[in-house]
Structure 1
Amino acid sequence: MLDATDHRILRQFQAAPDLPMADLADRAGVTPTTLARRLDKMRDAGVIRAVRTVINWPALGYTVEVSLRVTLDKTQPRAFDEFLSEARKVPEVIEAQTFLGQVDARLSVIARDMPHYQQVYRDKLLTLPHIADIEALMHVARVKFDETLPL
């Protein structure tokens, strides 16, 4: 399990993952060697999966984001697997989730503008297998987006 030092390291690492190791160690109150050893241990244990870059899609011209709530035809035995396999191939689908309940899946889709979204919707999304019903929810604003844990 993680101790108080590990939690302190994770708090600092979440806040500034691109900080030089010596500075990160100083902020966490440990030596650079201890920091490196503990980060390696947390990576090996799967606590830290990756350090990644978060891209500002609108800055690259992708100004439309839509959430699609999808209900699948569950009379088909492999409906979930086949739907998700094909959805993964659509570059504009940036996230896919599955649910238990009335809605089976949610796709988060980005597009440059509405004509681009309409083209993606007609040519790529409506052709995904086993769709029984689909509802589009246009994103207006992202009020909160935070993947950090309250450590």
Structure 2
Amino acid sequence: MITDQDKKILGTLQNNGRMSMVDLAHEANMSESTCLRRTKSLEEVGVIKGYSANLDYEKAGFDVMAFVQVNINQNSEAEFDNFKNAVRASPYILECYSLSGPYDHLMKVVARNNKELSHFILKTLKTFPEIRDAQTLFVLHEVKHTNALPLDLP
């Protein structure tokens, strides 16, 4: 169960994960020792999974982002495992989710240009033996992107 103190810590860290424990304690209105203990506890139970820098994909040299919807052959657990392992091994695939609905999976993919994305889709993704069908949707404009959870919902 996430307490109100935890929500203060988590909300503050979501806005600035690099802040010092002194500043975090001040922002969360608690002592440094309490803040440190609560933060460590949130890390240990896995609420805080890690800390990272959020990069702008275009400024980092990846001019193309797309979502790829795929259907796979799921005749056996081994086929599904092979698909998952191939997805995890690909540096182009940033995220992949199993879905309900007309497609089995949705992948978020980046590439430096259209040629590189085309090569990835035609030469790499289409060679996964488990994939039956794939549809690529190019991102034209990012309207909203956040990893911050809405912790203060009623």
Q: Same fold (TM over 0.5)?
A: yes
The alpha-carbon distance between structure 1 residues 49 and 105, as it changes in their structure 2 partners (threshold 3 A), is: same
1:139 alignment partner in structure 2: 139
In structure 1, C-alpha distance between the alignment counterparts of 2:2 and 2:68, rounded to whole Å: 38
Verify the 8 A CA contact 1:98 1:105 in the aligned structure 2: yes
**How does the TM-score come out when normalised to structure 1?**
0.91
2:30 alignment partner in structure 1: 30
Specify the code of the residue in structure 2 equivalent to 1:15.
N
Count of aligned pairs between the two proteins: 151
Describe the superposition over 1:113-140 as per-residue Cα deviations: whole angstroms up to 9, x where unpaired: 1111111122211111221111111111
| 1:76 Cα deviation after fit | 4.8
1:55 alignment partner in structure 2: 55
Aligned counterparts, 1:63-74, within 5 A: 63-74=63-74
In structure 2, C-alpha distance between the alignment counterparts of 1:69 and 1:6, rounded to whole Å: 36
User: What SS does structure 1 have at the residue aligned with 2:39?
Assistant: helix
Q: Which runs of 5+ in 2 are unaligned?
A: none
In structure 1, C-alpha distance between the alignment counterparts of 2:90 and 2:147, rounded to whole Å: 24
User: What SS does structure 1 have at the residue aligned with 2:6?
Assistant: helix
1:12 alignment partner in structure 2: 12
User: What SS does structure 2 have at the residue aligned with 1:149?
Assistant: coil
2:96 alignment partner in structure 1: 96
Verify the 8 A CA contact 1:94 1:107 in the aligned structure 2: yes
Describe the superposition over 1:76-110 as per-residue Cα deviations: whole angstroms up to 9, x where unpaired: 55332211211222211111111133211112111
Give aligned-pair identity as a percent. 27
Greater alpha carbon shift after TM alignment, 77-86 vs 37-46 = 77-86
| 1:75 Cα deviation after fit | 3.6
In structure 1, C-alpha distance between the alignment counterparts of 2:33 and 2:76, rounded to whole Å: 55
Specify the code of the residue in structure 2 equivalent to 1:41.
S
1:127 alignment partner in structure 2: 127
2:108 alignment partner in structure 1: 108
User: What SS does structure 2 have at the residue aligned with 1:95?
Assistant: strand
Q: Does 1:21 align with 2:21?
A: yes
**How does the TM-score come out when normalised to structure 2?**
0.89
